[in-house]
Structure 1
Amino acid sequence: MVAGLLLPPLVAAGLWFGVGEILVVSRATFQISWLGLAVVAASGIVLALLAGSRLSPVASLMGGLAFTALGVLPTIEMQGVRVLPDRWLPAGMEAGFQTVAYSGVLLFLGVALLVVSLFPSRWRSSARHIEYADPYGSSAPSPYLPQGGPEDATRPMFRE
């Protein structure tokens, strides 16, 4: 749960700073900003941990909602409604935000995190396998009781 509060803002800030740094340095000196590339790569690693790990699915759900909301804001602004204030971020980060938001990358990341949080395997607990005793003393396994580990938890009947 704490990861859902801390990691998405760090990913957003890193992405905005890194892309802004790449833009500013490439426009000013026609060179590659290794710092900007490193920050974007680190943000990608943290985003992958948020999306793919066994963290709580609420973490990716909250991050997905935030990224989706920020990704929709430029679409609203393109309709003529002013939503974002001017100069609300430092100059380099604002250039990075505008690049990432107006190109649709923030909306893409938000929807991806929302979809990742919907998988049933993310909502299962990592509890140990429980062996059920057969109340009737039969040697054959019951088709209605979970047979394997957590991968069989969502199956309605045992399949061979």
Structure 2
Amino acid sequence: MSNGARHALGVVAGLLLPPVALAGLLYGIGEISFQTRSAFQFPWYAAGVLAAAAVVLALLAGSRLSPVASLLGGLAYTALGLTPLLEFSGGPRLVPQGMLPARVHEGYLALGYSGALLFAGVLLLTVSLFPSRWRAAVPEPLSVSPAYGQGTSPYLPEDATRPMYRE
């Protein structure tokens, strides 16, 4: 896969996967907190949603696809994680009210005020900073056959630690 195609797929993945993972995180945390508080039972389906969201975040953080995916997700998560903390420190009211369903909003407040969204955002940003993720995969070098009549080529080093051929 060419480097341009890899980054184009990374942009698509960065625009699609972080909102899906965020919805899973917010719904899972909101549902768990609501069910354990009101019905005194643990909703295993919400734990499954959290596990699926964790798998999506792991794919964003560790895939060889492109660091653009984790960069876009990290920027979004960092911004969403900073808004409750800025409001909590005495700033203006930044957390949206009435825009999300009740359990999803409860999950956002739980993850936002605890700093977990900020943590996930900084983690995704940090993962996208490694230079090795921005480089394309290095193809294997072509092997050069030795010249006619010679057993080995003097230009192919036997020892990789020696900088040049010596007789």
Q: Same fold (TM over 0.5)?
A: yes
**Residues 1:130 and 2:141 are matched in the alignment:** yes
* CA distance in structure 2 between the aligned counterparts of 1:22 and 1:6, rounded to whole angstroms: 25
Q: 1:87 aligns with which of 94, 98, 101?
A: 98
Match of 1:6 among 16, 37, 53: 16
Question: Which residue does the alignment assign to 2:155?
Answer: 139
Q: Distance in 2 between matches of 1:22 and 1:117?
A: 31
1:116 alignment partner in structure 2: 127
Distance 1:138 1:123 in 2: 35
Deviation at 1:126, TM superposition (A): 1.8
2: CA distance, partners of 1:85 / 1:108 = 20
Amino acid in structure 2 at the alignment position of 1:29? A
CA distance in 1, matches of 2:106, 2:40: 17
Q: Confirm or deny: 8 A CA contact 2:85 2:112 kept in the other structure.
A: no
Structure 1 residue ranges (4+ consecutive) displaced by more than 3 angstroms after TM superposition: 130-133
Q: TM-score, normalised by structure 1?
A: 0.81
Q: CA deviation at 1:76?
A: 1.4
SS at match of 2:97: coil
SS in 2 for 1:14: helix
Match of 1:57 in 2: 67
Matched-pair identity in %: 54
Q: Residue 129 of structure 1 aligns to which amino acid in structure 2?
A: E
1:83 to partner: Cα distance = 1.3
- Bigger CA radius of gyration: 2
Task: Output one character per residue of 1:91-141: Cα deviation in whole Å (capped at 9) or x when no partner.
Answer: 0000001001100000000000000001111111024123498xxx96255
Is the aligned partner of 1:25 residue 2:64?
no
Deviation at 1:21, TM superposition (A): 0.5
Do residues 102 (structure 1) and 118 (structure 2) align?
no
Q: How far apart are the structure 2 equivalents of 1:45 and 1:85? A: 27
Task: Summarize deviations over 1:4-56 as a string: whole Å, max 9, x none.
Answer: 00000001000000000101111111110111101001000110011001121
**SS of equivalent to 1:31:** coil
Q: Tell me, which stretches of 5 or more residues in structure 2 are unaligned?
A: 1-10, 145-152
Q: Does 1:39 align with 2:49?
A: yes
Number of equivalenced pairs: 142
- After superposition, what is the alpha-carbon deviation per residue over 1:48-71, rounded to whole angstroms, capped at 9, x for unaligned? 011001121000000000000001
Structure 1 residues not aligned, in runs of 5+ = 142-146, 148-157
